[in-house]
Structure 1
Amino acid sequence: MEKLNMKYGREVISVPIPEKNLLGVINANPFDLGKSEEEIILDALNNPIASAKLCKLVHSGETICIVISDVTRLWQRMNVYIKYIVEELKKAEIKDEDITFLCAAGSHRAQTEEEIKKLLGDELAGKYKFVNHDCLDKNSLTYMGTTTYNNPIYLNKTAVEIDHVILTGGIVYHFLVGWGGGRKSVLPGISAYETIMNNHELSLSKDLGKGTLPSIKSGNIKDNPVHNDMLQAVNFLKPTFMFNSIIGSNGKICAAVAGNYIKAHEEGCRIVDKKDGVYINELADMVIASAAGYPKDINFYQSIKTVMNAVEALKPGGTMILMSECSEGLGGDQDVKDMLLNYTNTLDREKALREKYTIAKFVGYYTCNIADKYNFILVSNLDKELLKNTNIKVVKTIEEALDIVYKEKGENLTTYAMPYAANTFPILKNKN
């Protein structure tokens, strides 16, 4: 019997798995460039991909807009790398008053003064103009054109009317557009609310009852209309330069890419694949996945990425045991709670999602849809009554979860363990 230690809340739980059943432990690949954060940042800026250096692309007297993510994306370490981008601008004799920071908040709220300091760091905060994007403020938006997906693109005037736009962000796997970063700084980042929702709705099949398109998933941009629509939106703006970070397991920058907003992003996605994409030889009957403990399992809403990754290693109809303490309950806003609590079947949830699409609704819908297709058991402190209208079974211990599975499915179940499932993406070898 193998006993694997997996994080749960602030504890470490011993998970018993029969050795003969264990196909493997899916962990991120070793990845270390052997460089400091500063060295990684400077290497990227000094060796831009498909582009000249930033200091050669801009000129004294020109205006610059640096698009940065909001406080929910502090993990990108913009407070570490932004100053080096500003230094590149200084080499071209760009004046402080000609630099504007535009917060790509998407549909999120504005940033407070204290949050702006966290984003820019003490050295830069208060020194430069800072604009909070407001997706509902029509007076701050400019119509750019309409994509081939019939999405009218409205973007923030600050970025449209300035000489040069520099995109910044971080690249991770993303459940709608394959990978985050790059084009997401523009759409949803600095787009109108209607533009954002039109884009996200492209994730749905045209036919009611068929849910999301098969191409809408982490690690895929092929035939992905959400990604394609985003890229068309960015092409209207044509940013001058891009810098994106990639974060290691220690929370620090482990790699970075800079240069052309398409080519540099593509290289960043390849790096994420090398770091977090783990190839597997076969799918399993069961996956035991941990969200990696607190704070990643602080609530159910935060656990969605773990679910989306773990399902990639499962056979159709297989069993997923998700270890997520959810010490602060369901999490998310009222939309996700509405999906979980107030509907009893996937079709009605899909109708509600189509009626008024939001990411929170999608998360609730997606989770319930997974529970319909797979045997989904949640090890959690969550009150099971909260999920009574879903097919998710809520138990208190891993032993209880395994007991249920073995009684229902038998004990000879091929199994993967995913101790850090929120950050690890299984990729099936030779998948057609």
Structure 2
Amino acid sequence: MDKKMKYGDLKLEIDVDEKNVIGVIKSNKFGTTKSEEEVIKEAIENPIDSARLKELVHEGETVCIVVPDVTRAWQRTDKYLPKLVEEINAGGVKDEDIIFLSATGTHRSQTEEEHEKILGKELSKRFKIIDHDCLDKNNLVYLGKTTYGTPVSINKIALSCNHIVITGGIVYHFLVGFSGGKKTILPGIASYESVMANHAMSLSKNFGGGTYETVRCGNIENNPIHIDMLQAASFVKPDFMFNVVVDKDGAIVGAVAGNYISAHAKGRKMIDEKDGVNISRKSDITIASAGGYPKDINLYQSIKIMINAREATKDNGTIVILAECRDGLGGDAEMQSMFLNFDTSEERERDLREKYSISKYAGYYFCEGADKFNVILVSSLDPKLVKRTNIKLVKTIEEALELVYKTNSKDATITLMPEAANTLPKLI
């Protein structure tokens, strides 16, 4: 049994008894014999529940292509956008009638260099990118409310075009279940108020309840954030979607195109086949690594370990997280405040409800995890940064295991997650 796990630039040997290990969770093999170009071409030419894009658009019409921002560079937009433009041109639409709008959501505006990274060198010579501004009320159009009461205001530029094409990539997402698809509309090109109203549903309806039970990775069933986003997208009705699936090395191994609902459903199945790992039972102890640097560059990036490891661990069980965090807590001041300024989950939850933000929620989720589980963090972090939480910080895996067996018997069951940032355990 390979019991080595990455930690920063190192590989650590996890010295546990193999007879106690009930599972080693790794991504499933999801290879393809096709090149990236073939994967992209096949998806564009065989859309799901839709005519081809070149048949949907016509000469004299305007097309808005909504693209991810640079924080989603892993989606390899520079690889597939040229193919989409070719398809649109084939439908008779001229370059001057194509607009690129970046779905920045609540993120900052981007530099010219970042725009070039999104478009690629060749397209950058032909097109410019407009960054969505969620706070620019003059460039937003109010369309109505969802059944959850979320006010839906969407970028005016997109709505003024004859056609809207949404692009991106699909991975597990800790709020909406899966990224991609309708997420390009809300939060991508929606108002700040729309985004906050939607994301605030990640908390239970009543104070003290913490996170909403069905708001989690890989789940869309009764997930209010997913359903609310779908309703928001129904005001816009994007004409066409193109989303990619990438492997752990960043190569495009899958793509879906066509109807933004049914094509996304097929993409979700790909993600489950690749990164969803069925387990028959949860363990007393889960030892999890993000996969080394840069995935464990800071604690904010390591949130994915906590999200996925919780799914493999019994209630009140022990989670050992290997995350070097050479750059400290990471995230922004709001995320860091969850660690630095509060002593209890109730205090954190109250602050989060008063002024919700995604970054604060990420910090809250990590701290909440340390209240629900026995969390031991192997890290180079300054202990002062987590002293107001229930996270137990140690410097070595040996120290961590010593703590583990103070509260667990030598026969306690163990799950190893060497790729915890990318793999989601699914109890069957």
Cα distance, 1:219 vs structure 2: 0.8
Relative to the length of structure 1, the TM-score reads 0.98
Q: Deviations over 1:214-240 (max 9, x none)?
A: 100001111111111111111101110
User: CA shift at 1:206, angstroms?
Assistant: 1.4
CA contact (8 A) 1:199 1:229 kept: yes
Q: Partners of 2:415 and 2:338 in 1: how far apart?
A: 29
Name the counterpart of 2:255.
Answer: 256
2:59 aligned with 1:50 = no
Q: Is the 8 A contact 1:143 1:155 kept in 2?
A: yes
Aligned to 1:385: 384
Q: Which residue of 2 aligns with 1:68?
A: 67
Residue matched to 1:96: 95
Name the SS of the counterpart of 1:202 in structure 2: helix
- 1:333 match: 332
- Superposed, 1:213-228 pairs within 5 Å as 213-228=212-227
| Letter in structure 1 aligned against 2:169 | G
CA distance in 2, matches of 1:401, 1:3: 19
SS of match in other structure, 2:15:
strand
Q: Which residue of structure 2 lines up, in the alignment, with residue 400 of structure 1?
A: 399
Give 1:126 deviation, angstroms.
Answer: 3.7
> Shift of residue 410 of structure 1?
2.2
Q: Give 1:74 deviation, angstroms.
A: 0.2
- CA 1:379 to 1:140, structure 2 compared with 1: closer, same or farther past 3 Å? same
Distance in 2 (CA, whole Å) between partners of 1:103 and 1:19 is 49
Unaligned runs of 5+ residues in structure 2 are none
Q: TM-score, normalised by structure 2?
A: 0.99
Code of the residue aligned with 1:319 in structure 2: it is T
1:184 aligned residue = 183
Greater alpha carbon shift after TM alignment, 407-416 vs 337-346 = 407-416
Residue 147 of structure 2 corresponds to 148
Aligned AA for 1:387? V
Give SS of 1:286's match.
Answer: strand
Amino acid in the other structure paired with 1:372: D
**Paired residue type of 2:363:** G
Give 1:228's aligned amino acid: I
Residue 8 of structure 2 corresponds to residue 6 of structure 1: no
1:116 match: 115
- Residue 351 of structure 1 corresponds to 350
Work out the CA distance in 1 between the residues paired with 2:156 and 2:402.
58
> Per-residue CA shift, 1:1-29, capped at 9, x if unaligned?
x6611110011111112011011210000
Deviation at 1:408, TM superposition (A): 2.2
Per-residue deviation, residues 126-183 of structure 1 (Å, max 9, x unmatched) = 4124211000110110111111111110100011110000000000000001100001
Counterpart position of 1:363: 362
Offset at residue 384 of structure 1 (A): 1.3
1:275 alignment partner, SS class: helix
Aligned match of 1:24? 23
* Counterpart-to-counterpart distance in 1, 2:351 and 2:220: 26
Q: Deviations over 1:91-140 (max 9, x none)?
A: 11210000000000000011110000000000101412421100011011
Opposite residue 181 of structure 2, the aligned amino acid is G
> Structure 1 CA distance, aligned partners of 2:18 and 2:5?
16
Q: C-alpha distance in 1, partners of 2:215/2:201?
A: 9
2:411 & 2:362 partners in 1: Cα distance? Answer: 32
Q: Secondary structure at the match of 1:422?
A: coil
Name which of structure 1's ranges 120-129 and 365-374 shifts more when overlaid on structure 2. 120-129
Task: Report the 3-state secondary structure (helix = DSSP H, G, I; strand = E; otherwise coil) of the residue aligned with 1:16.
Answer: coil
* Gaps in structure 1 of 5+ consecutive residues: none
1:246 lines up with 2:245 in the alignment? yes
Answer yes or no: is the 8 Å Cα contact 1:3–1:16 preserved in 2. Answer: no
Distance of 2:355 and 2:116 partners within structure 1 = 35
> What code does the residue aligned with 2:75 have?
Q
| Cross-structure match for 1:37 | 36
Distance in 1 (alpha carbons) for counterparts of 2:155 and 2:378: 44
1:137 paired to 2:136: yes
Question: What SS does the aligned partner of 2:116 have?
Answer: helix
Aligned mates of 1:187, 1:408 — CA distance in 2:
44
CA RMSD of aligned residues (A): 0.8
Q: Aligned ranges for residues 276-355 of structure 1 at < 5 Å? A: 276-355=275-354
Matched, 1:168 2:167: yes
Q: Percent identity?
A: 55
Question: Which amino acid in 2 is paired with 1:21?
Answer: N
In structure 1, what is the equivalent of residue 196 of structure 2? 197
Tell me the amino acid that sits aligned with residue 404 of structure 1: L
Specify whether residues 29 and 3 from structure 1 end up closer, same or farther in structure 2 by C-alpha distance, changes over 3 A only: closer
* CA distance, structure 1, for counterparts of residue 426 and residue 305 of structure 2: 15
**Residues 153 and 192 of structure 1 are in contact (CA less than 8 Å); yes or no, is this contact kept in structure 2?**
yes
Decide whether the 8 Å contact of 1:3 with 1:15 is kept in 2.
Answer: no
How many Å separate the matches in 2 of 1:336 and 1:110?
A: 20
Distance 2:113 2:212 in 1: 40
* CA distance in structure 1 between the partners assigned to 2:228 and 2:362 by the alignment: 21
- Correspondence for 2:230: 231
Amino acid at match of 1:15: I
User: 2-side partners of 1:24 and 1:283: how far apart?
Assistant: 9
Secondary structure of 2:421's partner?
helix
